[in-house]
């Protein structure tokens, strides 16, 4: 089944690099946009991204890499967005070509902070892309493990299941297994919330809480995610599937989780600004928690973990005090 011929990836970070690697296993040609001209030259010459998951072996002869986003987008009929949500609007503002008739797949696990919308809604409202032309990649899959070609599982969601199945085929290979879903909203929201929970997990780790408490935190977190997604987008879904629970668990427990790392630094006493500067990577949960809190003001869903993280990051309440208060609310 070949619904689309030319795939382009937008973004130059870890996850974009991992997706390019997956696609290159099956495609003869993949287009790739990134800003950094030096990185482009390095990839063409040496076959790896010097700044992100440099262990990932790429295939330069299969790649068309350019810093001109319009040239890349014009030539593609399927576009994969893999930039941090906080930079999405800025990345797309230079687009002169229309993307409303293209199949746009979001690999972004975040919320657009300018207007508190998930990526699917943002694309629909600002670029007039029909929901059936919007896909979402989610699931428990760290870019670092893709680089090492460790077995990973991804879920591709789209209201048009044929398109989800088609894209799943493009990234399936010996180290990537896939399944499909129609729940683009639930998978996106769950992917956003798990980053917030990962920050909480990291804070607890930095404060010296042990594995027993981490397990209780994860158990409460999946219930918090379920309450939120079932209220905001009420459809039948199994929250125990890997796109929801699996993604949460790997982000909470993995050494590769940047949100967990960010939280760990906060728990050890770093300020938010100093932690961000030292990481040199975007922790999506930092932006997400503020957006989720503001969205929840119209629903009033019980979200103690989210509120605790918000208090620590934005109201500068002591992590020691906030986590002690949170521990009294968990069960």
Per-residue confidence in pLDDT tens, the chain, 331 aa: 579 999 999 999 999 999 999 999 999 999 999 999 999 999 999 999 999 999 999 999 999 999 999 999 999 999 999 999 989 999 999 999 889 999 999 999 989 988 889 999 999 999 999 999 999 999 999 999 999 999 999 999 999 999 999 999 999 999 999 999 999 999 999 999 999 999 999 999 999 999 999 999 999 999 999 999 999 999 999 999 999 999 999 999 998 999 999 999 999 999 999 999 898 778 899 999 999 999 999 999 999 999 999 999 999 999 999 999 999 999 9
Tell me the two tokens of residue 161: 């299941």
Cα–Cα dist 135/158, whole Å: 5
For Cα atoms 55, 12, 102, give the angle at the middle one, nearest 5 degrees: 125
Provide the pLDDT for residue 116: 86
Residue 97: the pLDDT is 83
- What are the residue ranges of CATH 1.10.1040.10 in the chain? 186-327
Q: Which structure tokens are listed for 16?
A: 């974009």
Instruction: Give CATH 3.40.50.720 domain extents, the chain.
Output: 7-182
Residue 28 half-sphere exposure, CB side, CA atoms within 13 Å? 1
Q: What is the pLDDT of residue 1?
A: 56
Strands 134-138 and 152-158: antiparallel
As to burial, measured by CB atoms within 10 angstroms (0-12 exposed, 13-18 middle, 19+ buried), residue 131 is middle
How far is the C-alpha of 272 from the C-alpha of 286, rounded, in Å?
A: 9
The reported pLDDT for the residue numbered 242 is 95
Identify the pLDDT of residue 209. 97
Query: Which residues contact residue 217 at a Cβ distance below 8 angstroms, ignoring those fewer than 6 apart?
Result: 197, 200, 201, 204, 252, 305, 330
pLDDT for the residue 314: 97
123, two tokens: 């694309």
CATH-assigned architecture of domain 186-327: Orthogonal Bundle (1.10)
Structure tokens given for 239: 């929250």
- CB under 8 A, 24+ apart: contacts of 226-230: 227/301, 227/302, 227/303, 228/189, 228/193, 228/292, 228/296, 228/299, 228/301, 228/303, 229/185, 229/186, 229/189, 229/190, 229/193
Closest CA to 117 of 78, 86, 91: 86
| Superfamily the domain 7-182 falls into | NAD(P)-binding Rossmann-like Domain (3.40.50.720)
SS3 content of the chain, % helix, strand, coil (to 5): 55, 15, 35
Report the distance separating Cα 329 and Cα 316, nearest Å: 20
Give the HSE-up count for residue 98: Cα atoms under 13 Å, Cβ half-sphere.
Answer: 5
pLDDT of residue 105: 98
């Amino acid at each position: 089944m070949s619904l689309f011929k030319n795939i382009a990836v937008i973004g130059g970070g870890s996850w974009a690099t991992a997706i390019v690697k997956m696609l290159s296993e099956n495609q003869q040609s993949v287009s790739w946009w990134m800003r950094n001209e030096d990185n482009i030259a390095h990839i063409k010459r040496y076959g790896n991204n010097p700044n992100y998951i440099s262990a990932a072996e790429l295939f330069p002869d299969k790649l068309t890499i350019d810093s001109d986003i319009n040239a890349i987008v014009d030539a593609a009929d399927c576009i994969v967005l893999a930039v941090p949500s906080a930079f999405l609007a800025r990345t797309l503002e230079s687009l002169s070509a229309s993307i409303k008739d293209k199949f746009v797949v979001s690999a972004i696990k975040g919320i657009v902070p300018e207007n508190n919308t998930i990526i699917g809604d943002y694309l629909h409202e600002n670029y007039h892309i029909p929901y059936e032309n919007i896909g979402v990649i989610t699931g428990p899959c760290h870019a670092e493990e893709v680089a090492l070609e460790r077995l990973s599982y991804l879920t591709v969601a789209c209201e048009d299941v044929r398109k989800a199945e088609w894209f799943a085929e493009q990234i399936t290979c010996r180290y990537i297994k896939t399944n499909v879903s129609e729940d683009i909203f639930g998978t996106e929201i769950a992917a956003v919330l798990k980053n917030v929970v990962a920050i909480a997990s990291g804070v607890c780790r930095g404060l010296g809480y042990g594995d027993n408490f981490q397990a209780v935190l994860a158990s409460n977190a999946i219930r918090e995610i379920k309450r939120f997604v079932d209220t905001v987008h009420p459809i039948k879904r199994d929250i125990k599937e890997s796109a929801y629970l699996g993604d949460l668990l790997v982000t909470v427990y993995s050494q590769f989780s940047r949100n967990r790392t960010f939280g760990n630094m906060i728990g050890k006493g770093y300020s938010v600004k100093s932690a961000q500067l030292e990481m040199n990577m975007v922790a999506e949960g930092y932006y997400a928690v503020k957006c989720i809190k503001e969205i929840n003001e119209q629903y009033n869903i019980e979200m103690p973990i989210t509120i605790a993280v918000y208090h620590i990051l934005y109201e500068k309440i002591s992590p020691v005090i906030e986590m002690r208060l949170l521990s009294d609310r968990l069960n």
